[in-house]
A and B are shown apart, each in its own frame.
Chain A
Amino acid sequence: MPDRLGLATACGILVLFAPGISAACSVCMTGREDDTRIVYELMTGFMTLIPFVLAGGVFYWLRGRVKEIEARHERARAAASER
């Protein structure tokens, strides 16, 4: 009986070597042509990156706001201690 992990690994490797078959719409087969495949790949990259850009942008903005508030508190503390 073949080892299950070995079988799963072999299947994974086979899938890696067959991107040409998967890069097409299953209904209309659009994507087999070179031009459309390039657009498919570009849009896949775009859709992969967009969540990181949006979430990263929100995180960066919030981090900036926190720093601004903490800087303001530091200034207020310094002013209060001088008095």
Chain B
Amino acid sequence: MTSRGAGPGPTPGGERAVIPNGMFGMTLFVVAEGMLFAGLISAFEIMHSAAMVWPPPDQPRLPVEATAFNTLVLLSSGYFLYRAHQAFHRGDRGNMSRPMTLSLGLGVFFVLFQGFEWVQLIGEGLTLSSSSLGSFFYLMIGMHALHAVGAIGLLGYATVRLRSGWLTPSPFGAAEVLWFFVVAVWPVLYSVVYLR
């Protein structure tokens, strides 16, 4: 993604990158995934409105309070990545390592805590086939978890490159776009799925 600008640039035509290619590609991916989550939320809302009884009887209640804590963990992760973003754009790579590591660590905690919750819910009888709540819960939250795992992988890769001294805007931009997407979608999913 380039624009024409005065003075020397990375190409003979004097074009400068508006945003790094990796970041642009990830943005397009995130827009498509946004539509996926919008469709899932839409289907859930319609199913919820058509249900005679909600939540379905004989199903365990979702752990609202524990997940509220986990939501704060994820939001904190996003905050620390933003701090790393600011340090990166200041050219202060020295002060990037700690916030990026914290962001990564909090993200890993979020996913592991979700997994622990799932194990408990499955033990209590909420499964993919037990009810419409179970189906949508594992589908929507599972899709988010899948994106979170991918984003953790990308963030981990960016952290390793930072520590090796060769983190460039493209991979870092891609990692932060995906992680911010994961962080931004979660409160919406939490309020739609858990707070009903």
Asked if B35 and A39 make an inter-chain contact with CB atoms under 8 angstroms apart, the answer reads no
Asked if A62 and B19 make an inter-chain contact with CB atoms under 8 angstroms apart, the answer reads yes
Q: A50-B35, A73-B5, A73-B7 are in contact. Are A65 and B46 (CB under 8 A)?
A: no
How many angstroms from the CA of A61 to the CA of B19 in the assembled complex?
10
Asked if A43 and B46 make an inter-chain contact with CB atoms under 8 angstroms apart, the answer reads yes
Asked if B3 and A66 make an inter-chain contact with CB atoms under 8 angstroms apart, the answer reads yes
When each residue 37-49 of chain A gets 1 if its CB lies under 8 Å from chain B and 0 otherwise, what string results?
0111011001100
Question: Which chain A residue lies CB-closest to B16?
Answer: A69
Q: Report A78 CB to chain B, min CB distance, Å.
A: 11
Asked if B50 and A73 make an inter-chain contact with CB atoms under 8 angstroms apart, the answer reads no
Partner of A76, one of B6, B27, B35, B48: B6
Asked if B38 and A40 make an inter-chain contact with CB atoms under 8 angstroms apart, the answer reads no
Residues in B neighbouring A55, C-beta threshold 8 A: 31
How many angstroms from the CA of A35 to the CA of B42 in the assembled complex?
15
Interface SS of chain B: helix, strand, loop or mixed?
Answer: helix
How many angstroms from the CA of A70 to the CA of B19 in the assembled complex?
13
Q: Does A4 reach chain B (CB closer than 8 Å)?
A: no
Q: A50-B34, A62-B1 are in contact. Are A43 and B45 (CB under 8 A)?
A: yes
When each residue 30-74 of chain B gets 1 if its CB lies under 8 Å from chain A and 0 otherwise, what string results?
010011001100100110111000000000000000000000000
Q: Report B113 CB to chain A, min CB distance, Å.
A: 29
Q: Does A12 reach chain B (CB closer than 8 Å)?
A: no
Q: Report B94 CB to chain A, min CB distance, Å.
A: 24
Asked if B1 and A70 make an inter-chain contact with CB atoms under 8 angstroms apart, the answer reads no
Residues in A neighbouring B46, C-beta threshold 8 A: 30-31, 36, 39-40, 43
Asked if A73 and B6 make an inter-chain contact with CB atoms under 8 angstroms apart, the answer reads yes
Residue of A35, A42, A73 ringed by the most chain B CB atoms within 10 A: A73
Partner of B31, one of A43, A58, A69: A58
Residues in A neighbouring B195, C-beta threshold 8 A: none
Mark out the residues of chain B between 1 and 15 whose CB falls within 8 Å of any chain A CB in the assembled complex: 1, 3, 5-7
Q: Does A2 reach chain B (CB closer than 8 Å)?
A: no
Asked if B31 and A39 make an inter-chain contact with CB atoms under 8 angstroms apart, the answer reads no
Q: A39-B46, A55-B31 are in contact. Are A47 and B7 (CB under 8 A)?
A: no
Residues in A neighbouring B18, C-beta threshold 8 A: 62, 65-66, 69
Question: Which chain A residue lies CB-closest to B27?
Answer: A58
Mark out the residues of chain A between 60 and 83 whose CB falls within 8 Å of any chain B CB in the assembled complex: 62, 65-66, 69-70, 73-74, 76-77
